[in-house]
Amino acid sequence: MAFSADELRVLRRALAIALNPAPLQDEDVQDCLRLAESVDDAVREAGRLRAFLLADLARYREALPGSLPGYLELLQDALAAGYDPAADDLSALRTLRSHPRAAHLLERCQVLVERSVRARLARVSQAVATAPRTRLLALPGGRAGEGEPKPSTPKPPVPVKRPAPKPSEVFPPRRRPVPPPPPEERVAG
């Protein structure tokens, strides 16, 4: 983000006022409000530009391998702007690694993803380490003090257990086929 000479003058005055609080003139207040509005506009515009760039990158990624040169250029621009490569980017680059520029970008993206994961893990572990530990509180129905009667709690009904079936009940024995009667008995007569 670049500031004009007038904006730098206002910013310098605002910083001086922040360091040495003093009553402000109306003109200083208006200048600071205009500067804040300009910065907000620039931030919104940067967000819109980033969203457009990421949507464009996704369109080029979907059109691969035909859009290889454009995709690689857009990915390089996005990485230069602070983009963390997504899983889709890594998988697309893996399929294109025969292209030397894609192979180089794959290595760069893998390093960036590893750094990003390590940074997230460090933040999570730091948050866990600095989180205040909560005290465990006794819940009603726990261990009662001596002399105090234990509260009676209804016991849940015990389910009726059925015995496990025997293998012969699940898989009945095979009946052997009855051999056909001898030929003399078959003739009826």
Give 163's Cβ-side CA count (13 Å radius).
4
pLDDT at 112: 92
Whether 112 is in a domain gets the answer: yes
Are 52 and 93 within one domain?
A: no
Q: Which residue among 38, 62, 86 closes a domain?
A: 62
Whether 107 is in a domain gets the answer: yes
Whether 42 is in a domain gets the answer: yes
What is the rounded distance in angstroms from the CA atom of residue 96 to the CA atom of residue 90?
10
Are 46 and 27 within one domain?
A: yes
pLDDT at 104: 92
pLDDT at 171: 76
Is pTM, for the whole model, over 0.85? Answer: no
Are 4 and 37 within one domain?
A: yes
Q: Which residue among 76, 99, 127 closes a domain?
A: 127
Are 21 and 47 within one domain?
A: yes
Q: Decide: 40 and 61 in contact? Cβ < 8 Å.
A: no
Question: How far from the centroid of its chain's Cα atoms is residue 86's Cα?
Answer: 11
pLDDT at 50: 87
Buried b (16+ CB within 10 A) or exposed e, 72-96: bebbeebbeeebebeeebeebbeeb
Domain count, the chain: 2
pLDDT at 114: 92
Are 73 and 56 within one domain?
A: no
Whether 182 is in a domain gets the answer: no
User: Mind giving me the DSSP string for 34-91?
Assistant: HHHHHHHHHHHHHHHHHHHHHHHHHHHHHTTTTTHHHHHHHHHHHHHTTPPPPHHHHH
Are 8 and 58 within one domain?
A: yes
How do the pLDDT tens digits run along the chain, 189 residues long? 677 888 888 888 888 888 888 888 888 888 888 888 888 888 899 889 888 888 988 998 888 888 888 889 999 988 888 888 988 889 999 998 889 999 999 999 999 999 999 998 988 888 777 777 777 676 676 555 555 555 566 676 666 677 887 877 777 777 777 777 777 755 555
Whether 105 is in a domain gets the answer: yes
Are 51 and 79 within one domain?
A: no
Are 43 and 72 within one domain?
A: no
Are 41 and 96 within one domain?
A: no
Domain housing 122: 68-127
Q: Residue 8 corresponds to which amino acid?
A: L
